[in-house]
A and B are shown apart, each in its own frame.
Chain A
Amino acid sequence: MSDGDYDYLIKFLALGDSGVGKTSLLYQYTDGKFNSKFITTVGIDFREKRVVYRPNGPDGVGGRGQRIHLQLWDTAGQERFRSLTTAFFRDAMGFLLLFDLTNEQSFLNVRNWISQLQMHAYCENPDIVLCGNKSDLEDQRMVKEEEAKELAEKYGIPYFETSAANGNNVSKAIETLLDLIMKRMERCVDKSWIPEGVVRSNGHSSTEQLNEEQEKGRCGC
């Protein structure tokens, strides 16, 4: 990844309470590994990964793959770093908002994080994917899937139950976010706007969650 031989640099940022597994999720995604030891993130960090993006339109006209260089910002969930981490919100095109399925407070704080994003992100309604992490710890679960889905729907964002430990849904969550970003980019760039409905039906297989609010996403483009 030392060369600029990619087509797009896409920047995501993971946020959420301390200990929900942001670092682990990203580590799982980029390296396929998991370390159960909790090492708190000092302020800010990022990981990188190359992926190929193939829009999987139902028409099968995927076109050639786009080479994506992902910059995945990892933020400290600790309150003391807050001013620092929120400053990075504006640099990201999309957000992975995590909570811990075994920690109800981290779920309750999701709305706070969303309002932080609305305040500090590059636009008022950025693309967000909500991840209920630690799905492998089913016996300790404190947040029901329905509750989480409901909340996600309220905000019009996709929801996944992920496990940084076993990798379940990790790639899917991030790829969904990528899909949202690529679609938004198309809309922004293309002067002949694709009607929103079409965009939606064109959506990624796992993006049924896209809804009206989300689509209103004016980022000023």
Chain B
Amino acid sequence: MLASLVHARHAERPRGVPAVSPRPAMALEPEALLDLSFLTEEERSCIARVLQRDWQLRRREEGRISKLRKSVSDPARLRSLTGDWFCDARAQRHQHQLGSDLVRASIRRRRRPRGTGDPERGPSRGELEAIDEPLAEEKEEEDGALETDQSSPTEEVQEATEPQPSPPAPAAEGTPMSQPLLQGDNIPAREQDSPAQPGDTGGGNPFGSSSSEEDEEEPDSAHSSHNAGQRPETPQTDQTPPAPPSPQNGRSPPSLLSTSSSVSSLSSSTLSGSLMSLYSEGELGRVAVRGRVQFSLRYDPAGKELQVHVLRCRELAEAKRQRSDPYIKTYLLPDKSNRSKRKTAVRKRSLDPVFNETLKYKLEKRDLQGRTLNLSVWHHDSLGRNLFLGEVEVALGTWDWANTRPEWFSLQPRMPIPSDGLASRGSLNLALKFIPVGSEGGGMPPTGELHIWVKDAQGLIPLQSGTVDAFVQCYVLPDDSKASRQKTRVVKRSLNPLFNHTMVYDGFQAKDLAEACAEFTLWHHEAFSKRQLGGIRLSLGTGSSYGLPVGWMDSTAEEQGVWKRLLQQPGRWVEALLPLRTNLVPRA
């Protein structure tokens, strides 16, 4: 998507204008994504491969051009060698995107979940695919807002709607830096233009570990969204599933619910009451990216400093009802660590915020080569998670540093990473039972209880060659706090790990279960990290929870069936053997 950003700066876009007038001052017509829904899966992947090849060619070309810019001084010669003559001509007509980028983005659109949790999503779930990882650096994102973009429906990117003076041909004009839909293994993910997802943890695992890892950060940071202190790439040692071996070694049903050491710490009082607020504050993800951002770039040779002067945004998406509290964050890629992160202050209640702040990086000018400025816009949510509102990226190696004027850039969504094609990586065998309040007589239990017995996984497919050190993690959503998280022990080197782990969540009424989703994810445990193989989500699959649209209510028909049986048969174990699917819609 980024490739387009260079072109995106030409806010003027005469298109579809009568041929007689070569350059109308303003023919403003937003560039819609193409509707490519007619393509079959096969055709899409075929086209994606072509785009991938094209992207490789463009990368090579980009490298060539950046060398030329350093070595060729004659401007006319440079213009022809780099292809700027063509890009400039095209920019007068086609404001921002290369056709191949438009197609790429359009193909991408269909890969995304539709609409923000639109309730009709149930039936369309089937076409949801594993969506990409959040940007790696976002793992550290204070509030884990990161993943939201994954599920944000890709809407048409709004074009600049006001005429802008056509800026001088940006140096980078001739250097497409867009990213292919498919990432080649040998391609450093991050360098691919913008939406690139570094998170694709090798092996093509569509899930990578980050999505849930991030969750672990949240409870603590929920109330201090800007505690930049969190370390992004630091291995999370607490990943070791703390869960001790199952108390019951045998297969006897866990009649003593609370014997499990991982019995939920949710108190009956917290759950129901807090569901609403937790959810509404934190889960409202999926903002359709739109709008644009204006900033200028300047390199101060004396101070050896890159200055990103962020002026303002226009027509940002609404993170919540009619408002966003935007702030801007930058990274100087490929450095995705905190050192590389800069932020503006939050501007409350504005879709057209004015920032007028300068974000600075100390570095030698020559070091700009190969660096990419990633500038993203976020909605700051003081209680929940920040939401992604769009981003742009600028390849600094090819930036025209003579141009220090503020430029407009269309905000872009992030690109999904295609899954590796496996629909599931094995199956999970479990049983559940719902015990309504007081149903056992004598006022017991005091609240409704959900009993979960994770028995074993079967036929796991390792992420890489070898085997799996597996554990299962469970949440009962919408509560995604640490308190809601339960883990089994790690069963090493087994493709059929036996967990035999029980857990109890209490504080439920039957009607809460209709709004809830029991999410089980199976992970490969590594020394300092973990990687997800797949998961299941038991819910009614309505696409919404307590009236709010959510991506994680994406249960398959089979999963829904289990949950329905659970609701219909209180007090009885409901057995389920379900595929660990790889296409869980990421949680915001």
Minimum CB–CB distance for B328 against chain A, Å: 31
Query: Inside 8 A of A7's CB, which chain B residues have their CB?
Result: 81
- A48's contact among B38, B57, B88, by CB below 8 Å, is which? B57
Q: A97-138, CB under 8 A of B: which get 1 and which 0? A: 000000000000000000000110011100000000000000
A residues in contact with B54, CB < 8 Å: 46, 71
> Would you call B93 and A42 a contact (CB within 8 A)?
no
Q: CB distance B50 to A2 under 8 Å?
A: no
Q: Name B89's contact: one of A2, A4, A43, A220 (CB within 8 Å).
A: A220
Most A-side CB within 10 Å, residue of B42, B43, B86, B103: B86
Known: A46-B53, A83-B34, A119-B16. A4 touches B63 (CB 8 A): yes
Q: How far is the CB of A173 from chain B (nearest CB, A)?
A: 21
- The chain B residue with its CB closest to the CB of A74 is B50
Indicate if B443 sits at the interface (CB-CB under 8 A): no
CA distance A118 to B19 in the complex (A): 8
Contact of A43 among B16, B39, B77, B92 (CB under 8 A): B39
Q: Which residues of A contact B358 (CB under 8 A)?
A: none
Query: Which residues of the other chain, B, contact A141 by a CB distance below 8 angstroms?
Result: none
Report the minimal beta-carbon distance from B196 to chain A, rounded to whole angstroms. 21
Q: Does A3 contact B (CB under 8 A)?
A: yes
* Contacting pair A84 B89 (CB below 8 A): no
Q: How far is the CB of A53 from chain B (nearest CB, A)?
A: 12
Nearest-neighbour CB distance to chain A for B16, whole angstroms, equals 7
Check B98 against A219 for contact (C-beta < 8 Å): no
> Is B493 positioned at the interface, with any CB of A under 8 Å from its CB?
no
Contact for A4 among B67, B85, B92, CB less than 8 A: B67
- Which among A91, A124, A190, A191 is the interface contact of B99 at CB below 8 angstroms? A91
| Cβ-defined contact, A42 with B60, below 8 A | no
Which A1-23 residues sit within 8 Å CB-CB of chain B?
2-4, 6-9
Chain B residues in 8 Å Cβ range of A71: 54, 57
Report how far A42 CA is from B39 CA in the complex, Å.
10
Contact status A122-B93, CB under 8 Å: yes
**B19 contacts A191, C-beta separation under 8 Å:** no
- Selected contact of A88 from candidates B64, B76, B90, B103, CB within 8 Å: B103
Closest A residue to B77 by beta carbon equals A189
Whether a CB of chain A sits under 8 angstroms from the CB of B94 is yes
Determine whether the beta carbon of B43 is less than 8 Å from that of A88. Answer: no
A185 on the B face (CB < 8 A): yes
Q: From known contacts A2-B60, A84-B34, A190-B76, infer whether A123 and B90 are also in contact, taking CB-CB under 8 Å.
A: yes
A45 in contact with B50 given A90-B93, A122-B93 (CB within 8 Å): yes
The residue of chain A having its C-beta at the shortest distance from the C-beta of B23 within the complex is A220
- Chain B hits for A124, CB < 8 A: 19, 22, 93
Is A96 in contact with chain B by the CB < 8 A criterion? no
Contact of B81 among A8, A188, A220 (CB under 8 A): A8
Interfacial chain A residues near B46, Cβ < 8 Å = 42-43
Among residues of A, the one whose C-beta sits closest to the C-beta of B60 is A4
With A43-B47, A90-B90, A188-B85: A4-B99 Cβ-Cβ less than 8 Å = no
Q: Write out the residue numbers on chain B whose beta carbons fall within 8 Å of the beta carbon of A46.
A: 50, 53-54
B79 within 8 A of A: yes
How many angstroms between the C-alpha atoms of A51 and B90 in the bound complex?
25
Q: Check if B85 sits within 8 Å of A185, measured CB to CB.
A: yes
The answer to whether A8 touches B89 (Cβ under 8 A) is: no
Q: Which of A8, A43, A119, A221 contacts B88 (CB 8 A)?
A: A221
A87 within 8 A of B: yes
Q: Cβ of A42 and Cβ of B79 under 8 Å apart?
A: no
Chain A residues lying within 8 Å of B23, measured Cβ to Cβ, are 220
**Please, how many angstroms separate the alpha-carbon atoms of A190 and B80 in the complex?**
9
- Distance, CA A48 to CA B50, complexed state (A): 12
Assuming the contacts A42-B46, A90-B99, asked whether A123 and B93 have C-beta atoms less than 8 A apart, the reply is yes
Report chain B residues within 8 Å CB of A93.
86
Q: Which residues of the other chain, B, contact A88 by a CB distance below 8 angstroms?
A: 99-100, 103
User: Does A89 lie at the interface of the complex (its beta carbon under 8 Å from any beta carbon of B)?
Assistant: yes
A6 partner residues in chain B, CB cutoff 8 A:
64
Would A189 and B88 be within 8 Å (CB), given that A84-B47, A90-B93, A220-B23 are in contact? Answer: no
Q: How far, in whole Å, are A219 and B88 apart by their CA atoms in the complex?
A: 9
Contact B99 A89 (CB under 8 A): yes
* Distance A6 CA – B106 CA, assembled complex (angstroms): 32
Given A124-B22, A189-B85: A4 touches B76 (CB 8 Å cut-off): no
Compute how far the CA of A118 lies from the CA of B15 in the bound complex, rounded to whole angstroms. 11
Chain A: which residue is nearest B53 at the CB level? A46
Determine whether the beta carbon of A42 is less than 8 Å from that of B35.
no
B99 A123 Cβ-Cβ under 8 A: no
Asked if B61 is at the interface of the complex by the 8 Å CB criterion, the answer is yes
Q: Mark B48-69, 1 if CB is under 8 A from A, else 0.
A: 0010011001001101100100
Say how far A112's CB is from chain B's closest CB, in angstroms.
16
Confirm or deny: A44 has a beta carbon within 8 angstroms of a beta carbon on chain B. yes
A9→B61 contact, CB < 8 A: yes
**Are B64 and A91 in contact, CB atoms less than 8 angstroms apart?**
no
Residue of A nearest to B84 (CB): A189
- Chain A hits for B102, CB < 8 A: 87
Tell me the minimal C-beta distance from B584 to chain A in angstroms: 30
- 27 pairs, A vs B, C-beta closer than 8 Å: A2-B60, A8-B81, A8-B83, A43-B39, A43-B50, A44-B47, A44-B103, A46-B53, A71-B54, A83-B35, A83-B36, A84-B34, A84-B36, A84-B103, A87-B103, A89-B99, A91-B99, A118-B19, A122-B93, A123-B89, A123-B90, A124-B93, A185-B85, A219-B86, A220-B93, A221-B85, A221-B89
Residues of B within 8 A of A (CB): 16, 19, 22-23, 34-36, 38-39, 42-43, 46-47, 50, 53-54, 57, 60-61, 63-64, 67, 76-77, 79-81, 83, 85-86, 88-90, 92-94, 98-100, 102-103, 106
Known interface pairs A4-B64, A189-B77, A220-B23; 11 further A-B residue pairs with C-beta atoms within 8 A, sorted by A's residue number: A42-B47, A46-B50, A83-B36, A87-B103, A87-B106, A88-B100, A185-B80, A185-B86, A219-B86, A220-B22, A221-B88
